[in-house]
């Protein structure tokens, strides 16, 4: 009898191997051959599921998106309004070795949006667009003088927090020893106090 193959499971294995290769050797070392070697498989085995290097990148980012969604939901819990907005900002401005590897991959993808890389870029774009939507929704609950801010002001708040977090993600890859979580979180609290909480800043933890 033929052995049942679960394509989703194989793609998940390939995604993990892709991240492992990028973490150990750098993103430019991510190739079909390197990932195959990491899994102890042939290159032909990998191309049965992922036909090109660009698709390797897209697959790794796509699987990361699922994990990010789960982690974000767990972190935000039942928070609503500006508390949820602040928690989302804090969550986005934290690092782990794997997250920085994935950031390196998406930086490489957005630097060259051509040909097969377009699929990987579409994954990245869907993640960032969805995240911005969550910032905008949270910013709509910010109050000034006891009343909710208007839509234009809410959009400015969402823009500023979103760009802050995205800028952090680049610096976390470029210079992680300088832009530590502690440094970034400290400045983020000043930003949140100014934009979101005014004179009443809730506990950051």
143 occurs within a structural domain: yes
23 occurs within a structural domain: no
Q: Where are the beta strands (DSSP E) in the chain?
A: 143-144, 147-148
Q: How confident is the model at residue 2 (pLDDT cuts 50, 70, 90)?
A: very low
- CA distances to 7, 32, 51, 59, 117 from 4, rounded to whole Å, are 10, 23, 21, 21, 31
Whether the pLDDT of residue 137 is over 80: the answer is: yes
What is the percentage of the chain residues whose pLDDT exceeds 70?
A: 93
State the helix-helix crossing angle for 181-192 and 151-174, rounded to 10 degrees: 170
CA pair distance 135, 152, nearest whole angstrom? 13
Q: How confident is the model at residue 22 (pLDDT cuts 50, 70, 90)?
A: very high
39 occurs within a structural domain: no
CB proximity list for 159: less than 8 A, separation 6 or greater? none
Most confident of 25-29, 75-79, 118-122, 189-193: 189-193
pLDDT of the residue at 205: 39
63 occurs within a structural domain: yes
Whether the pLDDT of residue 1 is over 70: the answer is: no
46 occurs within a structural domain: no
Output the average pLDDT for the chain: 88
86 occurs within a structural domain: yes
pLDDT of the residue at 74: 92
Q: What is the CA radius of gyration of the chain?
A: 20
- Whats the size of the chain, residue-wise? 205
Residue from 167, 168, 63, 69 nearest 123 by CA: 63
170 occurs within a structural domain: yes
Q: What is the tens place of the pLDDT at every residue in 180-192?
A: 999 999 999 999 9
3-state SS, 119-130, equals: HHHHHHHHHHHH
Q: What residues make up the domain containing 81?
A: 53-197
State the total domains in the chain. Answer: 1
18 occurs within a structural domain: no
């Amino acid at each position: 009898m033929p052995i049942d193959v679960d394509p989703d499971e194989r793609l998940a294995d390939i995604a993990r191997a892709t991240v492992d290769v990028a973490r150990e050797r750098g993103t430019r070392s991510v190739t079909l051959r390197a990932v195959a070697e990491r899994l102890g498989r042939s290159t032909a085995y990998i191309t049965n599921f992922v036909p090109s290097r660009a698709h390797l990148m897209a697959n790794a980012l796509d699987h990361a998106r699922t994990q990010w969604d789960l982690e974000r939901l767990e972190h935000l819990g039942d928070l609503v309004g500006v508390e949820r907005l602040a928690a989302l900002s804090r969550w986005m401005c934290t690092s782990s070795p794997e997250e920085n590897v994935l950031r390196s991959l998406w930086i490489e993808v957005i630097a060259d949006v051509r040909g097969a890389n377009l699929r990987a870029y579409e994954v990245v774009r869907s993640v960032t667009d969805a995240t911005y939507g969550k910032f905008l929704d949270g910013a709509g609950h910010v109050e000034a003088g006891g009343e909710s801010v208007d839509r234009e002001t809410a959009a400015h708040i969402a823009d500023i927090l979103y760009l802050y977090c995205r800028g952090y993600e680049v610096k976390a890859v470029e210079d992680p020893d300088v832009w530590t979580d502690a440094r970034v979180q400290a400045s983020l609290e000043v930003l949140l106090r100014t934009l979101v909480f005014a004179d009443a800043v809730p506990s950051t933890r």
